[in-house]
Amino acid sequence: MIKFNGLSETGKIESVLMKSPAKAWLGQDNVNMQWQKLNYPEKPDFQKVLQEYNQFASIIEAHVPDVYYLPEDDNTSLDSIYTHDPVIITEKGTVLCRMGKEERENEPSLAGKYLEELGMPVLGEIKAPGKLEGGDVVWFDDGTAAAGLGYRTNREGVRQLRELTKGLVEEIVEVPLPHWNGPEECLHLMSMISPVDRNLAVVYSRLMSVPFRNLLIDKGISFIEVPDEEYDNFACNVLTLEPRNCVMIAGSPRTKRALESEGATVYEYHGLDVSIKGGGGPTCLTRPLLRK
Protein backbone atom coordinates (compact mmCIF):
# COMPACT_ATOMS: atom_id res chain seq x y z
CA MET A 1 0.00 0.00 0.00
CA ILE A 2 1.21 3.49 -0.82
CA LYS A 3 2.66 5.52 2.06
CA PHE A 4 1.54 9.11 2.44
CA ASN A 5 2.12 12.28 4.45
CA GLY A 6 2.38 15.69 2.85
CA LEU A 7 2.31 18.05 5.83
CA SER A 8 5.68 19.56 4.94
CA GLU A 9 7.11 21.78 2.22
CA THR A 10 10.77 20.84 2.65
CA GLY A 11 11.07 17.15 3.53
CA LYS A 12 12.51 14.85 0.87
CA ILE A 13 9.84 13.96 -1.70
CA GLU A 14 9.46 10.19 -1.93
CA SER A 15 6.32 10.13 -4.08
CA VAL A 16 4.42 12.73 -6.06
CA LEU A 17 1.22 13.18 -8.07
CA MET A 18 1.44 14.88 -11.48
CA LYS A 19 -0.53 15.14 -14.72
CA SER A 20 1.10 15.42 -18.11
CA PRO A 21 -0.06 18.02 -20.65
CA ALA A 22 -0.72 15.17 -23.07
CA LYS A 23 -3.52 14.09 -20.67
CA ALA A 24 -4.56 17.53 -19.38
CA TRP A 25 -4.22 19.79 -22.44
CA LEU A 26 -4.67 17.15 -25.17
CA GLY A 27 -3.69 19.38 -28.08
CA GLN A 28 -3.56 22.89 -29.56
CA ASP A 29 -7.25 22.86 -30.53
CA ASN A 30 -8.20 22.30 -26.91
CA VAL A 31 -5.82 25.06 -25.79
CA ASN A 32 -7.35 27.43 -28.36
CA MET A 33 -10.82 26.78 -26.93
CA GLN A 34 -9.96 27.17 -23.26
CA TRP A 35 -7.09 29.56 -22.59
CA GLN A 36 -9.08 32.81 -22.57
CA LYS A 37 -11.92 31.40 -20.47
CA LEU A 38 -9.35 30.23 -17.93
CA ASN A 39 -7.86 33.75 -17.88
CA TYR A 40 -4.39 32.79 -19.10
CA PRO A 41 -2.45 35.96 -19.96
CA GLU A 42 -1.28 34.53 -23.31
CA LYS A 43 -2.14 31.54 -25.48
CA PRO A 44 0.31 28.68 -24.85
CA ASP A 45 1.89 26.74 -27.68
CA PHE A 46 1.08 23.09 -27.08
CA GLN A 47 4.26 21.72 -28.68
CA LYS A 48 6.38 24.03 -26.51
CA VAL A 49 4.33 22.96 -23.48
CA LEU A 50 5.22 19.33 -24.19
CA GLN A 51 8.91 20.15 -24.53
CA GLU A 52 9.02 22.23 -21.37
CA TYR A 53 7.05 19.72 -19.34
CA ASN A 54 9.27 16.85 -20.45
CA GLN A 55 12.29 18.79 -19.23
CA PHE A 56 10.57 19.44 -15.90
CA ALA A 57 9.36 15.84 -15.52
CA SER A 58 12.84 14.50 -16.20
CA ILE A 59 14.16 16.48 -13.22
CA ILE A 60 11.38 15.16 -10.98
CA GLU A 61 11.77 11.56 -12.14
CA ALA A 62 15.54 11.72 -11.54
CA HIS A 63 15.02 12.73 -7.89
CA VAL A 64 11.69 11.25 -6.80
CA PRO A 65 11.43 7.45 -6.52
CA ASP A 66 7.69 7.19 -7.24
CA VAL A 67 5.91 9.48 -9.70
CA TYR A 68 2.20 8.92 -10.33
CA TYR A 69 0.39 10.51 -13.27
CA LEU A 70 -3.33 11.29 -13.28
CA PRO A 71 -5.19 9.93 -16.30
CA GLU A 72 -7.04 11.93 -18.95
CA ASP A 73 -10.56 12.99 -18.00
CA ASP A 74 -13.12 14.89 -20.08
CA ASN A 75 -14.48 16.60 -16.96
CA THR A 76 -11.34 18.65 -16.31
CA SER A 77 -9.73 21.66 -17.98
CA LEU A 78 -6.19 22.71 -18.87
CA ASP A 79 -5.78 23.71 -15.21
CA SER A 80 -5.81 20.06 -14.13
CA ILE A 81 -2.10 19.94 -14.96
CA TYR A 82 -1.56 21.90 -11.73
CA THR A 83 -2.06 19.00 -9.32
CA HIS A 84 -1.01 20.86 -6.17
CA ASP A 85 -4.34 22.62 -5.72
CA PRO A 86 -7.23 20.09 -5.64
CA VAL A 87 -6.04 17.88 -2.76
CA ILE A 88 -4.11 18.11 0.50
CA ILE A 89 -2.28 15.03 1.77
CA THR A 90 -2.13 14.17 5.47
CA GLU A 91 -0.81 11.10 7.27
CA LYS A 92 -4.40 9.89 7.60
CA GLY A 93 -5.43 10.41 3.98
CA THR A 94 -6.59 12.94 1.41
CA VAL A 95 -8.47 16.16 2.03
CA LEU A 96 -10.50 17.02 -1.06
CA CYS A 97 -10.45 20.77 -1.58
CA ARG A 98 -13.32 22.86 -2.90
CA MET A 99 -11.90 25.01 -5.64
CA GLY A 100 -12.36 28.75 -5.78
CA LYS A 101 -12.14 28.62 -9.58
CA GLU A 102 -15.36 27.23 -11.02
CA GLU A 103 -13.67 25.54 -13.99
CA ARG A 104 -11.71 23.34 -11.56
CA GLU A 105 -14.61 22.07 -9.46
CA ASN A 106 -14.31 18.45 -10.65
CA GLU A 107 -10.60 18.06 -9.95
CA PRO A 108 -10.70 17.21 -6.21
CA SER A 109 -13.07 14.24 -6.51
CA LEU A 110 -11.26 12.85 -9.57
CA ALA A 111 -7.86 13.12 -7.91
CA GLY A 112 -9.27 11.62 -4.71
CA LYS A 113 -10.70 8.66 -6.64
CA TYR A 114 -7.35 8.01 -8.31
CA LEU A 115 -5.52 8.18 -4.98
CA GLU A 116 -8.05 5.80 -3.42
CA GLU A 117 -7.17 3.32 -6.15
CA LEU A 118 -3.55 3.62 -5.03
CA GLY A 119 -4.62 2.83 -1.47
CA MET A 120 -4.94 6.31 0.02
CA PRO A 121 -8.23 6.90 1.87
CA VAL A 122 -10.20 10.13 1.74
CA LEU A 123 -10.00 11.81 5.14
CA GLY A 124 -12.69 14.35 4.28
CA GLU A 125 -13.71 17.13 1.95
CA ILE A 126 -14.25 20.86 2.07
CA LYS A 127 -17.93 21.62 1.59
CA ALA A 128 -19.87 24.71 0.54
CA PRO A 129 -19.76 27.50 1.45
CA GLY A 130 -16.15 26.70 2.23
CA LYS A 131 -13.46 27.23 -0.40
CA LEU A 132 -9.90 25.96 -0.17
CA GLU A 133 -7.12 25.49 -2.72
CA GLY A 134 -3.83 23.74 -2.00
CA GLY A 135 -1.74 26.67 -3.19
CA ASP A 136 -3.07 28.71 -0.29
CA VAL A 137 -1.76 26.29 2.36
CA VAL A 138 1.89 26.33 3.45
CA TRP A 139 3.15 23.83 6.01
CA PHE A 140 5.91 24.36 8.51
CA ASP A 141 7.71 21.44 10.11
CA ASP A 142 6.82 22.40 13.67
CA GLY A 143 3.16 21.47 13.25
CA THR A 144 2.08 24.91 12.07
CA ALA A 145 0.45 25.78 8.77
CA ALA A 146 -0.46 29.09 7.19
CA ALA A 147 -3.58 29.48 5.06
CA GLY A 148 -4.11 32.41 2.72
CA LEU A 149 -7.52 34.08 2.70
CA GLY A 150 -8.22 35.48 -0.74
CA TYR A 151 -10.35 34.87 -3.81
CA ARG A 152 -9.63 31.10 -3.88
CA THR A 153 -9.77 30.23 -0.16
CA ASN A 154 -12.13 31.58 2.51
CA ARG A 155 -12.34 31.45 6.29
CA GLU A 156 -14.98 28.68 6.26
CA GLY A 157 -12.70 26.50 4.14
CA VAL A 158 -9.88 27.00 6.62
CA ARG A 159 -12.21 26.23 9.54
CA GLN A 160 -13.14 22.92 7.94
CA LEU A 161 -9.47 22.13 7.29
CA ARG A 162 -8.77 22.69 10.99
CA GLU A 163 -11.50 20.22 11.91
CA LEU A 164 -10.26 17.60 9.44
CA THR A 165 -6.63 17.89 10.59
CA LYS A 166 -7.34 18.08 14.33
CA GLY A 167 -4.65 16.10 16.12
CA LEU A 168 -2.37 16.26 13.08
CA VAL A 169 -1.66 20.00 12.97
CA GLU A 170 -1.10 22.19 16.02
CA GLU A 171 -2.10 25.49 14.44
CA ILE A 172 -3.33 26.94 11.15
CA VAL A 173 -2.66 30.67 10.93
CA GLU A 174 -4.96 32.72 8.69
CA VAL A 175 -3.11 35.09 6.37
CA PRO A 176 -5.18 37.73 4.53
CA LEU A 177 -4.09 38.11 0.90
CA PRO A 178 -4.09 41.36 -1.09
CA HIS A 179 -6.41 42.16 -3.99
CA TRP A 180 -3.29 42.50 -6.22
CA ASN A 181 -4.49 42.16 -9.84
CA GLY A 182 -8.05 41.17 -9.01
CA PRO A 183 -10.18 38.06 -8.56
CA GLU A 184 -9.51 36.60 -12.00
CA GLU A 185 -5.77 36.24 -11.39
CA CYS A 186 -4.52 33.28 -9.40
CA LEU A 187 -2.85 34.77 -6.33
CA HIS A 188 -2.19 32.05 -3.75
CA LEU A 189 -0.23 32.29 -0.52
CA MET A 190 2.43 30.31 -2.38
CA SER A 191 2.65 33.20 -4.84
CA MET A 192 4.73 34.98 -2.20
CA ILE A 193 6.58 32.25 -0.30
CA SER A 194 8.37 28.99 -1.04
CA PRO A 195 10.14 27.30 1.90
CA VAL A 196 13.39 25.63 0.84
CA ASP A 197 14.49 24.48 4.29
CA ARG A 198 13.16 24.62 7.83
CA ASN A 199 14.87 27.98 8.34
CA LEU A 200 14.98 29.42 4.81
CA ALA A 201 12.31 30.60 2.36
CA VAL A 202 12.16 32.39 -0.98
CA VAL A 203 9.74 35.30 -0.53
CA TYR A 204 8.30 38.36 -2.21
CA SER A 205 7.86 40.58 0.81
CA ARG A 206 5.97 43.33 -1.02
CA LEU A 207 2.90 41.08 -1.12
CA MET A 208 3.19 39.92 2.50
CA SER A 209 1.20 41.24 5.41
CA VAL A 210 3.39 42.55 8.22
CA PRO A 211 2.00 40.09 10.83
CA PHE A 212 2.73 37.09 8.57
CA ARG A 213 6.23 38.29 7.76
CA ASN A 214 6.93 38.86 11.44
CA LEU A 215 5.59 35.39 12.27
CA LEU A 216 8.12 33.86 9.88
CA ILE A 217 10.91 35.91 11.43
CA ASP A 218 9.83 34.80 14.90
CA LYS A 219 10.07 31.19 13.71
CA GLY A 220 13.70 31.80 12.80
CA ILE A 221 13.12 31.69 9.04
CA SER A 222 15.57 33.67 6.92
CA PHE A 223 14.50 35.18 3.60
CA ILE A 224 15.76 35.11 0.05
CA GLU A 225 14.05 38.18 -1.36
CA VAL A 226 12.85 37.96 -4.97
CA PRO A 227 13.63 41.19 -6.88
CA ASP A 228 10.77 43.00 -8.60
CA GLU A 229 12.03 42.22 -12.09
CA GLU A 230 11.97 38.46 -11.42
CA TYR A 231 8.61 38.13 -9.69
CA ASP A 232 6.62 37.83 -12.93
CA ASN A 233 8.97 35.02 -13.95
CA PHE A 234 7.59 33.05 -10.97
CA ALA A 235 10.91 33.28 -9.13
CA CYS A 236 8.96 33.00 -5.89
CA ASN A 237 7.50 29.63 -6.94
CA VAL A 238 10.27 27.17 -6.04
CA LEU A 239 9.72 23.45 -5.57
CA THR A 240 11.84 21.91 -2.84
CA LEU A 241 12.81 18.29 -3.61
CA GLU A 242 14.58 18.01 -0.27
CA PRO A 243 16.16 20.66 1.98
CA ARG A 244 18.13 23.14 -0.18
CA ASN A 245 17.64 21.04 -3.31
CA CYS A 246 15.06 22.74 -5.52
CA VAL A 247 13.54 23.38 -8.94
CA MET A 248 12.65 26.74 -10.49
CA ILE A 249 11.80 28.23 -13.87
CA ALA A 250 14.85 29.39 -15.82
CA GLY A 251 15.39 33.12 -16.19
CA SER A 252 15.71 34.44 -12.63
CA PRO A 253 19.50 34.68 -12.17
CA ARG A 254 19.50 36.89 -9.06
CA THR A 255 17.18 34.57 -7.15
CA LYS A 256 19.12 31.53 -8.33
CA ARG A 257 22.43 33.05 -7.19
CA ALA A 258 20.91 33.93 -3.82
CA LEU A 259 19.75 30.33 -3.38
CA GLU A 260 23.17 28.98 -4.33
CA SER A 261 24.86 31.37 -1.91
CA GLU A 262 22.80 29.67 0.82
CA GLY A 263 24.12 26.27 -0.21
CA ALA A 264 21.15 25.26 -2.36
CA THR A 265 21.36 23.16 -5.50
CA VAL A 266 19.04 24.61 -8.15
CA TYR A 267 17.63 22.79 -11.16
CA GLU A 268 15.96 24.85 -13.89
CA TYR A 269 13.49 24.18 -16.67
CA HIS A 270 12.13 26.43 -19.40
CA GLY A 271 8.57 27.21 -18.35
CA LEU A 272 7.22 30.09 -20.41
CA ASP A 273 4.35 28.15 -21.97
CA VAL A 274 3.67 25.38 -19.45
CA SER A 275 4.01 27.54 -16.34
CA ILE A 276 4.01 31.29 -16.85
CA LYS A 277 1.27 31.45 -19.49
CA GLY A 278 -0.84 28.97 -17.51
CA GLY A 279 -0.22 30.55 -14.11
CA GLY A 280 1.39 27.60 -12.34
CA GLY A 281 5.06 27.11 -11.46
CA PRO A 282 6.96 23.97 -10.42
CA THR A 283 5.20 23.73 -7.05
CA CYS A 284 1.81 23.95 -8.79
CA LEU A 285 2.75 21.15 -11.20
CA THR A 286 3.25 18.69 -8.33
CA ARG A 287 1.39 17.36 -5.32
CA PRO A 288 3.86 15.54 -3.07
CA LEU A 289 2.23 12.46 -1.57
CA LEU A 290 5.03 11.57 0.82
CA ARG A 291 7.75 13.78 2.24
CA LYS A 292 10.27 12.55 4.79
pLDDT digits (tens, 9 = 90+) for 201-254: 999 999 999 999 999 999 999 999 999 999 999 999 999 999 999 999 999 999
pLDDT tens-digit map of 27-80: 999 999 999 999 999 999 999 999 999 999 999 999 999 999 999 999 999 999
pLDDT tens-digit map of 158-211: 999 999 999 999 999 999 999 988 888 889 999 999 999 999 999 999 999 999
Rounded to whole angstroms, the Cα distance separating 91 from 93 reads 6
pLDDT for residue 186: 81
Rounded to whole angstroms, the Cα distance separating 169 from 158 reads 13
Rounded to whole angstroms, the Cα distance separating 275 from 53 reads 9
Going from N- to C-terminal start, the domains of the chain cover: 13-291
Q: What is the mean pLDDT of residues 126-141?
A: 96
CATH number assigned to the domain covering 13-291: 3.75.10.10
Residue 192 has φ and ψ, to the nearest 5°, of -125, 0
pLDDT for residue 185: 81
pLDDT tens-digit map of 264-282: 999 999 999 999 999 999 9
Q: What is the pTM of this model?
A: 0.97
